[in-house]
């Protein structure tokens, strides 16, 4: 038996922010609410939304359990939570609302990751973990607002979508070699999101809705599969390993994109196409551009298989010399 969870209303477009009260009315949400934002997103959109809904404002400072605990405490007795921000705000709101058994509405201020519509939340801690929570009941993605977000966030979102390419190949491999459940529909949807971003990489800056839709579709693929499998394979393991090793890691999507170049090479698939499309959308394609040392890339590559219990092209792990060879051949170091 499989439980599929998807958002009920998704509104994407320029000026969508003004329609939030209508979306809430459609979803029959009313009463007291808390708006979660960080100090930047509160100023650029949160304040305005909180004014429209008469919500109490909660400032998220990180993406760890203390924030989730505090927000869950603040929202006791509320009808819903509104998340206004990027990955950390979304994850904290997703987990706190799930814990309180209330819905949440996601208003992304950037398109930097595929957690916008997915039921999975990432938590930073000693080990980064992806836990099942709930997907937003509604998503309001104002493309005029997202267009104004830093270019680096948008290219990181492109790279996260492109990395679905290697994640799906890893999923197929786990199915063939380990008999793991594989869903054709979720895999095809995830692969299509990567393909559309790869084919339109040059146009995304001027037409950000291509990317927003691809990231929402990735979240839907995760909802259908019931796990992050269709969008998270060895390239995500590499990114999680970097988060553990580096003092100053790059953005999630940036690391996943560079990981996807190397994993595509290992998978004997078209790593050059992955690299080209990352270049087109302005995402980093090597260690230097990510601000990460050669040593850390090799360490992350040779330890990524231990980050989580998920079968990928890394199988039981690769040696340091093999890691060095892969990173050099693909121009990452």
Q: Which chain residues interact with Zn ion by CB under 5 A? A: 160
Q: Between residues 160 and 213, which has the closer beta carbon with respect to Zn ion?
A: 160
Min CB(117)–Zn ion separation in Å: 13
Q: Between residues 34 and 83, which has the closer beta carbon with respect to Zn ion?
A: 83
Q: Is 131 helix (H, G, I), strand (E, B) or coil?
A: strand
Min CB(51)–Zn ion separation in Å: 32
**57: which strand partners?**
35
| Residue 167, both tokens | 């994640």
Report which secondary-structure segment, H or E, holds 216: helix 209-225
| Residue 220, both tokens | 């839907």
The dihedrals phi and psi of 85, each to the nearest 5 degrees, come to 165, -155
Enumerate long-range contacts of 18-24, CB under 8 Å, 24 or more apart. Answer: 19/140, 20/49, 20/52, 20/53, 20/82, 20/105, 20/107, 20/140, 21/52, 21/53, 23/105, 23/138, 23/140, 24/53, 24/80, 24/105, 24/138
Q: Between residues 55 and 190, which has the closer beta carbon with respect to Zn ion?
A: 190
Min CB(120)–Zn ion separation in Å: 10
Q: Between residues 152 and 294, which has the closer beta carbon with respect to Zn ion?
A: 152
Please spell the DSSP secondary structure of 50-80, one letter per residue: HHHHTPEEEE---SSHHHHHHHHHHTTT-SE
Min CB(275)–Zn ion separation in Å: 18
d(CA 115, CA 94): 10
Q: Between residues 96 and 222, which has the closer beta carbon with respect to Zn ion?
A: 222
Q: Between residues 55 and 232, which has the closer beta carbon with respect to Zn ion?
A: 232
């Amino acid at each position: 038996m499989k439980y599929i969870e998807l958002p009920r209303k998704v509104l994407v477009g320029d000026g969508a922010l003004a329609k939030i009260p209508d979306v809430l009315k459609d979803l029959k949400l009313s009463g007291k609410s808390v708006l979660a934002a960080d100090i930047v997103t509160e100023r650029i959109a949160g304040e305005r939304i909180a004014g429209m809904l008469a919500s109490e404002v909660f400032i998220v400072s990180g993406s760890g359990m203390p924030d989730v605990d505090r927000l869950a405490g603040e929202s006791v007795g509320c009808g819903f939570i509104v998340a206004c921000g990027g990955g950390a705000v979304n994850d904290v709101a997703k987990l706190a609302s799930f814990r309180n058994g209330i819905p949440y509405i996601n208003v992304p201020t950037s398109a930097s990751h595929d957690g916008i519509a997915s039921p999975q939340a990432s938590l930073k801690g000693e080990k980064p973990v992806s836990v099942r929570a709930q997907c937003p009941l509604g998503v309001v993605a104002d493309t005029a607002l997202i267009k104004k977000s830093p270019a680096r966030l948008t290219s990181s979102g492109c790279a996260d979508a492109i990395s679905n390419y290697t994640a799906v190949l890893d999923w197929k491999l786990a199915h063939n070699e380990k008999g793991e459940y594989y869903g054709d529909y979720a895999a095809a949807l995830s692969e299509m999101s990567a393909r559309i971003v790869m084919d339109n990489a040059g146009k995304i800056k001027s037409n950000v809705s291509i990317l927003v839709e691809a990231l929402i579709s990735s979240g839907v693929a995760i909802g259908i599969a019931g796990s992050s499998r269709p969008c998270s394979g060895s390239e995500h393991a590499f990114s999680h390993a970097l988060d553990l090793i580096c003092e100053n890691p790059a953005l999630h999507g940036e690391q996943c994109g560079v990981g996807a170049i190397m994993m595509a090479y290992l998978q004997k698939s078209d790593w050059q196409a992955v690299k080209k499309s990352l270049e087109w959308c302005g995402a980093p394609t090597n260690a230097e551009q990510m601000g990460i040392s050669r040593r850390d890339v090799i360490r992350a590559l040779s330890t990524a298989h231990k980050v989580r219990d998920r079968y990928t092209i890394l199988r039981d792990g690769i040696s340091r010399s093999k890691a060095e060879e892969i990173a050099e051949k693909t121009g990452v170091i």
